[in-house]
Structure formats: structure tokens, C-alpha cells
Amino acid sequence: MMTSVILFTLLALMLLIVLSWFGIRLLRVMKEEAMGTDLMKETVPLARLPVGLEGLRILFISDIHRRRIDPGLSRQVEEQGGAELVLIGGDVRESGVSLELVRENMRLLSRLGPTYAVFGNHDYDEDIEALRSCLEDAEVKILQNRYQMIRLPGREPFKLAGTDDPRTLRDRLEETLTRPLAPEPDQSLMQLRRGSSEPPFTVLMTHDPILAYRSRQSGIAADLVLSGHTHGGQIVLPLFGPAMRTASVRKFRVGWFQLPAPVAWQKTGPHKVRLLVSPGYGTSKAPIRLNCPPAVHLLILTKGDK
């Protein structure tokens, strides 16, 4: 009897050691995955892309949270041909993250090209006005339910719009697409909007893709929508799927989606709205990921209807 008890105890102890080793090993793997810096270069076909925007290169990053951006990212981007525009999809921080770290991250990005950002839900964890000043100091313009006509060297002007955070119900889509960030003194930009029945080519940033679900009846008056928030589920378990099961994750977990365009747009031909949901760069709650590595996107726009 005593021998059986000792044997059982030894087996239980061995099992505990094996499980502990496996758990520690898995945790190490998850931490390593979370700290990766994958630059995903993708060609994005868009049906209404003007000739003057063919090959436009956009760097998109979202959900940085408390990560320090790897300085090597700049080198990766330059090795891939550089970026003409840098877009930030919100959550550049969370509670407890210093503005100095945010400023350092933003300056690294703004050195790559003209930079615009929208706010995410975690950006409101602390003083939003202090964050606004921090971003502006780093030469990052904020689109908060506003748009701006963008004119890059050698490029046709286009509309860049950004909503405030949908997660906290601060977004105003109609206002975003109709109210400029600042008055437009360049009359050629005004003529671009008023001189043609064809709406201008539009890129929309919104932190949470749930906006697409809310707008499923009316459609979104944009050609390309860029978002994040979901982290791709962050921890994706075999067979079970993402550990996080929020509405956004269930409907738009990660990757590319096709959305209906507004009915008014259909008068000039069939239009499709493309939505990208990024897995993000940082993490929430814990610096771990599983089967869902972080990503930064280098998007090359091209004319096409795929």
C-alpha cells in the first residue's frame, strides 16, 4: 500500500514537472511571438484608384499600446522602397504608458513620411489632450471625425478621412467624410470635389472595424478602410480559435474583407469597399501572442477589381 502511494506521488510530481516545463516553454514562445516585427508588403487592387495614385505606398500600423517600436522597422521600410504616407490606426498607448515613449515612437514613424493618426479606445485611458499635444509635437496630424485632402509630390489629390474611436461611441461617420480638418485654400482641391459627379478616391481610418458592421445598410463612402483593435484575437488556440470573443473579433477578426458601397456610388458603376483589419503591433493586458503574430503593413495601391 505504501509503495503504491509513493509511486503515485512520484508520477504526480513528474507530471507536474513536465506540465510546468511545457507551460514555461509555451510562455516563452508566446512572448517571442509578441515581440516580432513583421513588415507585410501587400499589393492592394482598388477599382476606383486614379492613374495619378498608381503604386502609392502607404505604411499602416495600429495598436502599438506599450511597445517600443523597433528602430529596425525604418530600415525594413526603406529596403522595401519606402513609404509615401504613414497612417496610424489608434491605441498608440494605454494606461501607464509614458508620453515620452509615445513621442519616441511617433517621431520614428513621422520620419518615414507625412503621418496621420486616429484615436483608439485606449488612447482615452489618460489625458487625451496631453496625448494630442504629444502627437502634434512629433509631427503627427490627428483626424478626429475629420478628413483632409492629401497632395503628395507627383500624385493626384485624394481624400484621407479618420473617425474618432467607435469602441467608445465617439465616431461620427457622416461628419468624418464631410468636414475638413482645416480650410482648403488650394482651389484645385475644391474643384476636385465639386467639379465631378464621381466622388474623390477616399481612404478611411477607423480604430474599430465594428464601424463597418454598423454601416452595413448605408455603406461606407470610401474605397479603402484601414482598422485594427482586434489584435487578430491575440491568442488563437488550435481548434477553438481566438480566446477573445468580442463582437469585432467575431465579425472582423483579421485580414481583408469586402464591404458594400453606398447606393449613390453604384450610379457610376459597381463599386466595392475594401477593409483591412490589422492584427496590430502591440498587445493588450499581457505581452503575449499565440498563432497571431504582430504586423506592420506596407500597402502598394494599384488599379484593379479583385
Least confident of 25-29, 80-84, 103-107, 126-130: 25-29
Residue appearing with cell numbers 525604418: 74
Q: Are residues 197 and 95 part of one domain?
A: yes
Q: Are residues 122 and 15 part of one domain?
A: no
Closest CA to 143 of 170, 169, 125: 170
Q: What is the domain count for the chain?
A: 2
Q: Are residues 145 and 19 part of one domain?
A: no
Q: Are residues 126 and 185 part of one domain?
A: yes
| Residue 213: Cβ-neighbour burial (10 angstroms; 0-12, 13-18, 19+) | middle
Q: Are residues 253 and 121 part of one domain?
A: yes
Q: Are residues 139 and 158 part of one domain?
A: yes
pLDDT digits (tens, 9 = 90+) for 241-293: 888 788 888 899 999 999 988 877 766 665 789 999 999 999 988 899 999 99
State how far the Cα of 234 lies from the Cα of 133, in Å rounded to an integer. 30
Q: Are residues 135 and 114 part of one domain?
A: yes
For the record, the C-alpha cell of 12 comes out as: 504526480
Residue appearing with cell numbers 514562445: 29
Q: Are residues 30 and 86 part of one domain?
A: no
The CATH number given to whatever domain includes residue 68 is 3.60.21
Q: Are residues 28 and 136 part of one domain?
A: no
Closest CA to 273 of 215, 192, 189: 215
Domain extent at residue 256: 37-303
Q: Are residues 124 and 26 part of one domain?
A: no
Q: Are residues 228 and 206 part of one domain?
A: yes
Q: Are residues 118 and 7 part of one domain?
A: no
pLDDT digits (tens, 9 = 90+) for 131-180: 999 999 999 999 999 999 999 999 999 999 999 999 999 999 999 999 99
Band of residue 240 on the pLDDT scale cut at 50, 70, 90: confident
